[in-house]
Amino acid sequence: RHQLPKIAVIGEDGRMTAAAGKYAGQDRLECRKGIIAELEAAGLLEKTETHVHNVGHCYRCDSSVEPLISKQWFVKMEPLAKPAIDTVKNGAVEFIPERFTKIYLNWMENIRDWCISRQLWWGHRIPAWYCGDCGAVIVARDAPQTCGTCGSGNLAQDQDVLDTWFSSALWPFSTLGWPDQTPELEYFYPTSVLVTGRDIIFFWVARMIFMALEFMEEPPFAKVIMHGLVLDHDGKKMSKSRGNAIDPLEEIEEFGTDALRLAMITGNTPGSDFRYQKGKIEGYRNFANKLWNASRFVLLNLDDERLSLSDFKGSFTLPDRWILSRYSNTAAEVQRLLERFDLGMAAQTLYDFVWNEYCDWYIEMAKPRLRSSEPSERRTVQAVLRHVLQGTLELLHPFIPFITEEIWQKLPGNSGSIMIAPWPQADPGLIDAKAEKEIGALMDIIRAIRNVRAEMNVPPAKKVEAICQADPEKGQLIDTNRILLQTLGGLSTITVIQEDAPKPEKAAAAVAGGISLFLPLAGMIDLTKEVERLEKEYHQMQGLCAGVEAKLSNAGFLAKAPAEVVSKEQEKLAGYREKALKLKERLDALKG
């Protein structure tokens, strides 16, 4: 770059060249020791320091790799770079996320000529031959027999091979029969989407674009989806050289393929790196088990015939309208997210719907109706269960193909494969905002009842009384769905009182969506024993608070302890105080 002379002091054999003067012929390692000794003898060595830095090593013999100036083959990039830059700027190729466009353009606009030769024994050999007599260089598609300059047959092919990314850059069209005009090339080129890692945007993506523009005169793909790298628990890139990579086959053996796939996708931001967490895979194995068990329950409660949802529209209950609305909204949201290639959020949306709505709520709401003696009621809930399950399996299939295929095959009336089933479409006619709002209010009530039961240590099987203080509209909602609330809340009775009515005494209280809930304590728990238990726990918590307060008021501790230790103690004290406050509130409620 600066027109300086190129001096090579280390030869290909690792020994010093004639340019090294009196050190010529010495091994490079011995030469370094000799130079240090000579500097020290001359009084010119000021100090010796140890530095930690990256030194390349041969992967076979572990010898350190030395930089060496040598002749190489280069591709002139200026004429190739300009069309590749224009293609991205005019939108013919789009990067997703969009921030990678700037990264691509910055590299292409400052690109240097590409060194394409490598000194390896394996690869595509450079198609160049040298005449041993006149020194002419011959570049040809087929091996020449004679020199075109002097006619000599003394020819030797260049021993270097092409950079592996050179052949990879031709992949979009060379795999389809190019340079021949094949039917495959005509049908499959160009493609729509390339999915690849952010670390090879320069090595592969950019080179595919400019090679395609050069040889095919059109870009190889329209969209490039960049995903992040998998990092280890310390946030370092996984690689074989570091020894921190995991064997996916071992993870599949332990957790299953679907769980591993879902863990690699769900919740990850497009283009961003993410840490590999074994606990996350275990969590998605639990999700697969949840889906399997829920599907098994549905299958056990379906008849052999395939029921059509449209036949039951007039008999949908509030829970039916709610789950069908939530399913339609979920299908629409997943479609929207997939179209913008946000696969992580699409998978998370499905996860939340399956676990938190279909399994935890709708199936529980459906159970009493499946036991109904009224055939029409039972068939309605069967149709809804089946419709939502089938559509959800089809939405999940791209993410977890194996378990969804297995369950889908077992649904009555299905044939062929889920892979070729029509993609689910959201039905605007099933979207019901009113049903979603009303079920949301009922869920809040049930959650509040369950929380009170848990705080008061009420056995799960014990039925309790509930009193709701609500306005007329909410009171009507409770009355209409009394059986649902009693079933899911573990209630013996539920009574609605007016907003201005006196509040019941000696009752545990909670608030849910503007509704005041009261659970009378009499008959629910042994008041005396519960008060004794809570008082003991409250005094223990007060003792813990006092211990931490004493430590934090100690000037010696504050002066010597690291800031993070002091911070942890402060957090601990805040947690103890919060628990003590809750225990005091529960004691006050019990004592009236």
Cβ pair 26, 15 in contact under 8 A? yes
> Which residue ranges make up each domain of the chain?
1-70, 74-125+160-227, 278-431, 434-525, 528-591
The contacts found for 276-279 with CB under 8 angstroms, 24 or more apart, are 276/230, 276/231, 276/232, 276/233, 276/238, 276/246, 277/233, 278/251
User: What are residue 15's phi and psi, to 5 degrees?
Assistant: -110, 160
Cβ pair 379, 307 in contact under 8 A? yes
Q: In CATH, what is the architecture of 434-525?
A: 2-Layer Sandwich (3.30)
- Kindly provide the b/e burial profile for residues 512-545, where b requires at least 16 CB atoms within 10 angstroms of the residue's own CB: beebbbbbebeebbeeeebeeebeeebeebeebb
What distance lies between CA 368 and its chain's CA centroid?
A: 38
Strand ranges for 347-440 from DSSP E = none
Q: Render each residue's pLDDT in the chain as its tens digit; 592 residues.
A: 788 888 889 998 899 999 999 999 999 999 999 999 999 999 999 999 999 888 888 877 888 888 888 889 999 999 999 999 999 999 999 999 999 999 999 999 999 999 999 988 899 999 999 999 999 999 999 999 999 999 999 999 999 999 999 999 999 999 999 999 999 999 999 999 999 999 999 999 999 999 999 999 999 999 999 999 999 888 888 887 788 888 899 999 999 999 999 999 998 888 999 898 889 999 999 999 999 999 999 999 998 888 888 888 889 999 999 999 999 999 999 999 999 999 999 999 999 999 999 999 999 999 999 999 899 999 999 999 999 999 999 999 999 999 999 999 999 989 999 999 999 999 999 999 999 999 999 999 999 999 988 888 888 888 999 999 999 999 999 999 999 999 999 999 999 998 888 888 777 888 888 888 888 877 777 777 778 888 888 899 999 999 999 999 998 888 888 888 899 999 999 999 988 888 888 788 777 6
Nearest to 119 by CA among 156, 68, 153: 68
**Look-up: residue for tokens 């390349």?**
56
- Between CA 240 and CA 246 the distance in angstroms is 9
**Look-up: residue for tokens 């020894």?**
243
Angle at 28 between CA 27 and CA 32, to 5 degrees: 120
Cβ pair 465, 519 in contact under 8 A? yes
- Between CA 348 and CA 262 the distance in angstroms is 9
Both structure tokens of 440: 């949301």
Strand ranges for 189-260 from DSSP E = 193-197, 223-227, 230-231
DSSP state of 264: H
Kind and range of the H or E run holding 243: none
User: What are residue 468's phi and psi, to 5 degrees?
Assistant: -115, 125
Q: Homologous superfamily of 278-431 in CATH?
A: Isoleucyl-tRNA Synthetase; Domain 1 (1.10.730.10)
- Between CA 207 and CA 203 the distance in angstroms is 7
C-alpha pair distances (Å), 311 with each of 227, 368, 384, 397, 414: 44, 21, 11, 27, 19
User: What are residue 372's phi and psi, to 5 degrees?
Assistant: -65, 145
528-591 CATH? 1.10.287
- Between CA 229 and CA 313 the distance in angstroms is 48
Q: What's the pTM?
A: 0.81
Strands of the sheet containing 137-139, edge to edge, are: 137-139, 128-131, 155-157
Strand ranges for 136-291 from DSSP E = 137-139, 155-157, 161-162, 193-197, 223-227, 230-231, 274-275
Cβ pair 172, 192 in contact under 8 A? no
- Between CA 589 and CA 519 the distance in angstroms is 11
- Between CA 10 and CA 6 the distance in angstroms is 12
CATH for 74-125+160-227, options being 3.40.190.10, 3.40.718.10, 3.40.50.620, 3.40.50.720 = 3.40.50.620
Amino acid of residue 208:
M
3-state secondary structure string across 89-144? HCCCCEEECCHHHHHHHHHHHCCCCEECEECCCCCCECCEEEECCCCCEEECCCCC
- Between CA 335 and CA 327 the distance in angstroms is 12
